[in-house]
């Protein structure tokens, strides 16, 4: 199952199918503030490259919402490994603040995935 298929299925399962997915291309000068969220296959959570707890993420997302920012989201996928349970909690926090989200298939966030599952270079 592709990452996009998994994502659509997971969001529907979580009742988050209406989550706002950010447009893939945006001029660098017009880019809103963002937070980079990485979820490793073993469940470790990184926020802007730093190991974080859900409480720390909650505070950071509250700040981001006040600044009208966007979440950049990457999840490590390993063949045969079930997605970690923390994903549900992370997506719920993103929804709590009604933040748009930009999905990436690369750990360096150098791409963004559109609503059809196609990867595009991210303009930073």
Task: Please say if the pLDDT value at position 104 is more than 90.
Answer: yes
Q: Is 99 part of any domain?
A: yes
Model pLDDT, residue 18 = 43
Higher-confidence position of 111 and 30: 111
Cβ neighbours around 79 below 10 Å, total? 5
Residue 122 lies in a domain: no
Indicate the SS3 state at residue 82.
Answer: coil
Count the Cβ atoms, other than its own, within 10 Å of residue 7: 22
The whole model's pTM is what? 0.79
Give a yes or no: residue 109 inside a domain.
yes
Q: Is the pLDDT of residue 101 over 60?
A: yes
Q: Give the pLDDT confidence score for residue 81 in this predicted structure.
A: 86
pLDDT (tens digit per residue) in 28-53 = 567 899 999 999 999 999 999 999 99
Per-residue confidence (pLDDT) for residue 7, from 0 to 100: 56
**55-98, pLDDT tens digit by residue?**
999 999 999 999 999 999 999 998 888 889 999 999 999 999 99
Q: How far is CA 100 from CA 1, 77, 78, 113, in A?
A: 24, 22, 26, 13
Query: Domain span at residue 45?
Result: 34-113
* Nearest alpha-carbon partner for 102 in 16, 14, 37: 37
Lowest mean pLDDT among 68-77, 104-113, 115-124: 115-124
Structural domain includes residue 55: yes
Report the number of distinct structural domains present in the chain.
1
Under the banding of pLDDT at 50, 70 and 90, the label for residue 25 is very low
Residue range 101-123: mean pLDDT, rounded: 94
Strand bridging mode 70-75 / 34-39: parallel
Domain for residue 54, yes or no?
Answer: yes
Does 68 map to a domain? yes
Radius of gyration of the chain (CA): 13
């Amino acid at each position: 199952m592709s990452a996009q298929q998994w994502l659509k299925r997971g969001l529907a399962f979580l009742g988050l199918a209406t989550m706002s997915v950010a447009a893939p291309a945006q001029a660098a000068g017009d880019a809103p503030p963002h937070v980079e969220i990485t979820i490793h296959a073993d469940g470790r959570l990184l926020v802007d490259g730093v190991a974080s707890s859900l409480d720390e993420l909650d505070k950071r997302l509250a700040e981001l919402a006040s600044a009208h920012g966007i979440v950049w989201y990457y999840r490590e996928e390993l063949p045969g490994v079930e997605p970690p349970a923390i994903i549900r909690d992370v997506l719920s926090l993103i929804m709590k603040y009604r933040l748009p989200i930009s999905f990436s298939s690369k750990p360096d966030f150098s791409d963004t995935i559109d609503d059809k599952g196609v990867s595009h270079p991210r303009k930073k």
